[in-house]
Structure 1
Amino acid sequence: MVFLVCLIFCFLAPALEAQVAVRDTVLTVRPGDSLLAIAHRLLRYSTEYTAGELVDRIKRENGLQGDAIQMGQLLDVSLSYAELLDQPVIRGTNFAARGIYITAALAGSRRMLTLADALVAAGGNTVVFDVKDRYGNLGYASSVPLALEIGAGQRAPIAQPAKMLDALHRRNIHVVARLTCFYDARLARQRPDFVPFSREGPGLWSERGKSNWVDPSLPQVQEYLLAIVREVAELGVDEIQLDYVRFPTEGNLADAVFAFDPAVVPKDRIITDFVTEVERVLEPMGVLLSADIFGVAAWGREADRRTIGQHLPDLLPHLDAVSPMLYPSHFEDGFERIDRPVDYPYYFLLQGCQRLQKLATEHDVLVRPWIQSFDYRVTDFDSLYVTEQLHGAEDGGARGWLLWNPASLYEIGFAAIKGFTDSTAATVPVKLRFPKSLGMDLTRPTSVAD
């Protein structure tokens, strides 16, 4: 009873912004209890960010040397509660995001706060975190029925999303929830009726032997994603970013049979209609909407449009920002008659952003590219390689940028951001920023109209 009364009192006690109320209580260890289970129950009433931190404090306050506790044992716990900001950081329509991507596992750990502080110190202002990854795992505990049915949030690493958002907002950080859409290995495995059929024989279509994609045209699939969008927006994020909002591009694509006829309804109409529905959900909530696109989409090739289902003139009007993945390493050797595109980080960011800029400007959409902050195929990966991309993006008309490292390792990335924002970073000589001439003037940026 003492424990319950204290919890209620602590929870209801009025608190000013950033003011912490502390109340002491005593609890009795229940049958089957562990320190970690107790910490998870009490975490919402404490200022600790993780259950592990609360366990450490309980052990200190009770003089415990290990994790062993006994049924009926009394534990002294000082519960503290701080009023959360519980509101997004309002940004202007021309806000220049300078950010990084972090995994959901990292977002649910104390290291997230360390990274956030390092980002701000370097001159950054945005964090993109996984709210649903391509494996179909949610970063938080969802109440969406289908998510519960397939166990999408059963191991959610972000125990207290409100605390995470509060911690980032108090640092004036723009918080973006990255939502992987139609590549969803868990949903495909748990609901095979959502997977495209194989044209060549009985069974499901697979991408290189694995059924990881669900059919983007199915109403049940779209409704599931829209329910997550609504739920995540209500958590208090500032922006939702759609990734894999497209059709598959690998494997035997001719073998895939979807629930519509692409000869009658083009793939890009399916994708655009879905993004339109996401926009309708978010607009009254004041949450921004962005989407990731292939870097090569900036070149506007018709074959790419028919394959992936992204037609930018139709898609962009429904977005606040578009993020092309202009990683130099992902352009195949020989692209645009350039032997090794990966050797020209400035050039490909410049070209990609410029090609998108005219179309984006017509629809009042910000171009905010993803920057390669990893060493794949790069001969000498260092902060200069990253800053060259930042310069290329800025010179190409981008409004902000986002650094991608799949493991969320940003020592080199932060050095690049710092050098770029305070103008102390070294630069590559102009003539080395561009590929050798192949019968054309490659030093002259190409526009969409070229």
Structure 2
Amino acid sequence: MKGTGFNGDGSVLSEKKIPPLAALAVLAIISLLSAASIIIESRDNTKFLSFLKINKQVILSETSNSPYPQALATPLKAKGIYLTGYTFSNQRRREELINLIKETELNSLVIDLKDPAGKFMFPPFSEKLKNWPLSPVARSRVDYQNILNQLQNEEIYTIARITTFQDPTAVKTFPALALKNKSGGVWSDYKGVTWLDLTNPEVWQLIVEQAKEAALIGYDEVQFDYIRFPSDGNIKQIQYHNFSDSQRRYEIITEFFKYLKSELAELPIPLSIDLFGLTYQRRNDPNYDLNIGQRLVDAALYFNFISPMVYPSHYPPGYLSLANPAAHPYEVVNQALKEGKLILETATSSIATTRPWLQDFDLGADYDAKMVKAQIRASDENQTAGWLLWNAKNVYTRGALEK
């Protein structure tokens, strides 16, 4: 028997053979047990045999003595929906969406690790995060893990979404790490939202600790959002910790990518990232980074999955000569993903596959089942690693989802 999984660097684990007699004994044990996952410790306490039932098949793998729970295997095509921390914590709403998954083609959930204000949804394990405020609807670690275990038992793949540099709670908790205003005080964008200083290495450490929390509590994947420079507000007034006019923004972001990859090499689960949809548009200027530091060619070297936010409503009038791109979901998503494939082909050391965020909310047009299906079709035709639906209220169009 053989088992596969992810190495800490995101590559696929080499297959490890199990002696035939041991394999037969294992299968006999499994036939007597109904648990979704079983771990048997070896005599020398250094190795574990892990068994995981996925889609009625048992996956057997030998792993090192790791503090991280056994994760579900990554679906070839993750078909997911987004949940806020509040929705995840609410039993009635959570069960409604679990039922939606059971009754449709969905197989994955993207869940905020923190609430909208940036407060943790469970008490962190790390001493470095012990002073981080908890959400009013936070669960105990045991309760939180039990919910994740339930999802694993239902064979639902879980992705922890971490908002990184835009984090008002982190700014209040660690004020010395906030983006500063040249005129004094903490800088905020036009909405009054404060940011961490992405040029400060201490901020990078905070992000790494959060990712480890996600793996320790039992998530199957970590997804990073807001890895970018601020784009809204009086950005000329920002006083950075360590950034000069001679530097390019994408150089700072790429250094952070390298740091993440190195510091999280021990994690046995994939890493993914959200990018602006316009990063999937070819440019004549290879240095163009949307003035926020995001370039697809850079992210492709460090993340297993890239999720461009190709929401048609977010494209300007005139894109593809369309007066209202939101009214043309197939055309917009198809063009973005086609161009993205060409860009990824230029990243010779790429480890990434595309898994786009798609629009399931009304903006620029009424998004009914037909509109959502059109985006899914564009994603499927471009051989992506699945797709994720975004709706801030976590209300999804059932009619767009096949069984």
Same fold (TM over 0.5): yes
1:330 and 2:330 aligned: no
Aligned in 2, Cα 1:126/1:261: closer, same or farther, shift over 3 Å? Answer: same
Matches within 5 A, 1:82-231: 86-91=69-74, 95-110=76-91, 111-133=93-115, 135-152=117-134, 155-157=137-139, 160-199=143-182, 201-208=183-190, 210-231=192-213
- Gap regions ≥5 residues in structure 2: 1-31, 37-67
Contact residue 180 and residue 240 of structure 2 kept, 8 A: yes
Shift in Å, 1:219: 1.5
Aligned in 2, Cα 1:134/1:246: closer, same or farther, shift over 3 Å? Answer: farther
1:345 and 2:329 aligned: yes
The match for 2:302 among 318, 324, 332 is: 318
Matches within 5 A, 1:365-444: 365-378=352-365, 380-410=366-396, 412=397, 414-418=398-402
Contact residue 180 and residue 244 of structure 1 kept, 8 A: yes
**Identity over aligned residues, as a percent?**
28
Which residue does 2:6 correspond to in 1? none
Paired residue total: 334
Q: Which has the higher contact order (CA 8 A, sep 6+)?
A: 2
* Matched position secondary structure for 2:367: coil
Q: Cα RMSD over matched residues?
A: 2.5
1:294 and 2:280 aligned: no
- Gap regions ≥5 residues in structure 1: 1-14, 20-84, 423-450
Which residue does 2:255 correspond to in 1? 273
The residue type equivalent to 1:167 in the other structure is Q
In structure 2, distance between residues paired with 1:137 and 1:153: 5
The residue type equivalent to 1:355 in the other structure is E
Shift in Å, 1:109: 2.5
In structure 1, distance between residues paired with 2:168 and 2:257: 21
Which residue does 1:4 correspond to in 2? none
Shift in Å, 1:381: 2.4
Larger Rg computed on CA atoms: 1
In structure 2, distance between residues paired with 1:109 and 1:285: 29
* Matched position secondary structure for 1:285: coil
The residue type equivalent to 2:359 in the other structure is Q
1:355 and 2:336 aligned: no
The residue type equivalent to 1:376 in the other structure is L
Aligned in 2, Cα 1:240/1:364: closer, same or farther, shift over 3 Å? Answer: same
Contact residue 86 and residue 162 of structure 1 kept, 8 A: no
In structure 1, distance between residues paired with 2:96 and 2:193: 37
In structure 1, distance between residues paired with 2:191 and 2:225: 22
Contact residue 302 and residue 351 of structure 2 kept, 8 A: no
- CA deviation string 1:271-323 (max 9, x = no partner): 22222232234433321000000011111455861521112212211110000
Shift in Å, 1:233: 0.9
- CA deviation string 1:65-96 (max 9, x = no partner): xxxxxxxxxxxxxxxxxxxx95211236xx21
In structure 2, distance between residues paired with 1:208 and 1:374: 23
Contact residue 371 and residue 403 of structure 1 kept, 8 A: yes
In structure 1, distance between residues paired with 2:228 and 2:134: 21
In structure 2, distance between residues paired with 1:128 and 1:238: 10
